[in-house]
Amino acid sequence: MNAVSANLIGKKYGKLQALSGISLEVGEGDIFGLIGPDGAGKTTLFRILATLILPDEGTASVCGFDVIKDYAKIRKVVGYMPGRFSLYQDLTVLENLTFFASVFHTTVEENYDSVKDIYQQIEPFKNRRAGALSGGMKQKLALCCALIHEPSVLFLDEPTTGVDPVSRKEFWTMLQRLKQRGISILVSTPYMDEASLCDRIALIQNGKFLKTDTPQNIIKGFDSELWSVRSDHMSKLLSDLRLNEGVSSSFAFGDAHHVTLKNGKCNSHDLSVYLDGLKHTNVCIQKIEPNVEDCFMQLSGKNIL
C-alpha cells in the first residue's frame, strides 16, 4: 500500500486553476520531493492531502484512507508542518510539545523516543517561548510537534525556506533518519539542490507536474549537452548568447551561464568564435553535467512552448 496516492487531483480558486491532473504515489518509507517555484501549487496539494480543503476533482488517499470520507482517520496518522510557523508563540517549547501530545491523546514521555534526536537539540531552550526562537530552532520545534504522535506520514511544506544553510543541511539529515524509521515523507521545496536528497521527486509548475521520477532518472532524461559559459561581462554575455541562433537555451546559474546548443547547427568551437567576435574577454566554455535545476528549466521551457 502506498503511503500517499493521488489520482488526477484538480483544484480551482475562483478562476485560478491552482492544480490540475495531479497524480502521485509515495511509497512507504520514501522521501518524495515536490520541487517547484513559489505559486506552483505545492501548498494547495498539501492542504488537500492534509484534509484542510477538498479537491474539486480526482481522488486521493493517505495510508489507504480517503481524504474526503476518512479525513478523521487521516488526521490521526499524519504529521503536518505548514510553510508558516504555526505553533503558539506565547507558549514555551515544552508547553507546545506537551500541548500537541495531549491533543493527540498521548504524552511527551510516552513518545519521547520518536522526537528524542531532534528535541535534544532544542532542549536547552525548553522554557523559552516559541516566539523567541531562531528560525532554525522554530523549524526543529515544529518538526517535533509534528512527530510527537508517531505519525506514519509526514507532510512538510517548505520546511527549509528561510533557514540558514547549516540548519538546512541538519534538517535533511534528520529527515533521512526519520525515513530509516519507516516514516514516509512528502516534502516541498523551492531549492533544487535539495531534490537530489529525495528518493523521488515531482517537478511542479503552474499547478501541473512536469515530470515525476527519481532525481537520477530526471537528470538522465536531460537530452542535450550542457555547457557552462563565462566571460568578464556576464550580463552582456547572456544577451549575446540568446541572440545566437545556434543556442537553444541559456540561463544564468550563479557564476556561469548554462547553455544548450542546437544539434548540428552549432558546437562549442563555433560559440567561442562567436563570442570572441563580440569582443568578450576571458571566455571559458566547459562541458558540465546537468543538475535537477537544469532539468527543471528545460522542462518548464518545453511546458511554456
Partner 1 sequence: MVIKYLIEKEFKQFGRNPFLSKFVFIFPFVMLSILPLAANFEVKDLNLAVIDNNHSSYSRRLVQKIAASRYFHLTGVPSSYRQALKNIEQDQSDMILEIPPSFEQDLIREKNARVMISANAVNGMKGGLGSAYLAGILAEYNAEIRQELLPSAVSSSQTGLEVSKLFRFNPLLDYKFMMVPAIMVMLITMICGFLPAFNIVSEKEAGTIEQMNVTPVSKFSLILSKLIPYWVVGFVVLTICFGVAWLFYGLWPKGSLLTIYLFASVFVLAFSGLGLIVSNYAKTLQQAMFMVFFIVITFIFMSGLYTPVDNMPQWGQYISDISPLKYFLRVMRLVYLKGSSTADLIKPFLALCTFAVVFNTWAVLSYRKSQ
The one among 10, 28, 52, 253 contacting partner 1 by CB under 8 A? 52
Q: Is 141 in the site for partner 1 (CB under 8 A)?
A: no
Q: Which three cell numbers stand for residue 292?
A: 535537477
CB nearer partner 1, residue 90 or residue 276: 90
Q: Is 55 in the site for partner 1 (CB under 8 A)?
A: no
Q: Is 87 in the site for partner 1 (CB under 8 A)?
A: yes
Q: Is 72 in the site for partner 1 (CB under 8 A)?
A: yes
CB of 104 to partner 1, least distance (A): 6
CB of 131 to partner 1, least distance (A): 10
Q: Is 91 in the site for partner 1 (CB under 8 A)?
A: yes
The torsion defined by the Cα of 50, 159, 215 and 242, in degrees rounded to 10, comes to 110
* Residue 28 and residue 2 in contact, taking contact as beta carbons nearer than 8 Å: yes
* Residue 12 and residue 53 in contact, taking contact as beta carbons nearer than 8 Å: no
What are the φ and ψ backbone dihedral angles of 108, each rounded to 5 degrees?
-60, -40
Q: Is 50 in the site for partner 1 (CB under 8 A)?
A: yes
Between CA 207 and CA 23 the distance in angstroms is 11
Between CA 155 and CA 149 the distance in angstroms is 14
CB nearer partner 1, residue 95 or residue 117: 95
Between CA 125 and CA 136 the distance in angstroms is 13
* Residue 228 and residue 286 in contact, taking contact as beta carbons nearer than 8 Å: yes
* Residue 109 and residue 36 in contact, taking contact as beta carbons nearer than 8 Å: no
Q: Which three cell numbers stand for residue 300?
A: 518548464
Between CA 267 and CA 237 the distance in angstroms is 17
Q: Is 160 in the site for partner 1 (CB under 8 A)?
A: no
Q: Is 82 in the site for partner 1 (CB under 8 A)?
A: yes
CB nearer partner 1, residue 89 or residue 263: 89
* Residue 59 and residue 213 in contact, taking contact as beta carbons nearer than 8 Å: no
For partner 1, how many residues bind (rule: CB under 8 A)?
25
Q: Is 68 in the site for partner 1 (CB under 8 A)?
A: no
Residues paired with residue 13 on neighbouring β-strands, in sequence order? 16
CB nearer partner 1, residue 97 or residue 226: 97
CB nearer partner 1, residue 67 or residue 137: 67
* Residue 55 and residue 95 in contact, taking contact as beta carbons nearer than 8 Å: no
Q: Is 89 in the site for partner 1 (CB under 8 A)?
A: yes
CB nearer partner 1, residue 119 or residue 227: 119
Q: Is 90 in the site for partner 1 (CB under 8 A)?
A: yes
CB of 69 to partner 1, least distance (A): 16
CB of 204 to partner 1, least distance (A): 21
Q: Is 76 in the site for partner 1 (CB under 8 A)?
A: yes
CB of 84 to partner 1, least distance (A): 5
* Residue 218 and residue 294 in contact, taking contact as beta carbons nearer than 8 Å: no
What ranges make up the beta strands (E) of 145-197?
153-156, 184-189
Q: Choose one: 24-32, 98-106, 183-191, 221-229; the region binding partner 1 (CB under 8 A).
A: 98-106
* Residue 26 and residue 191 in contact, taking contact as beta carbons nearer than 8 Å: no
- Give the binding site for partner 1 (CB under 8 A): 50-52, 72, 75-76, 78, 80, 82, 84-91, 95, 99-100, 102-105, 145
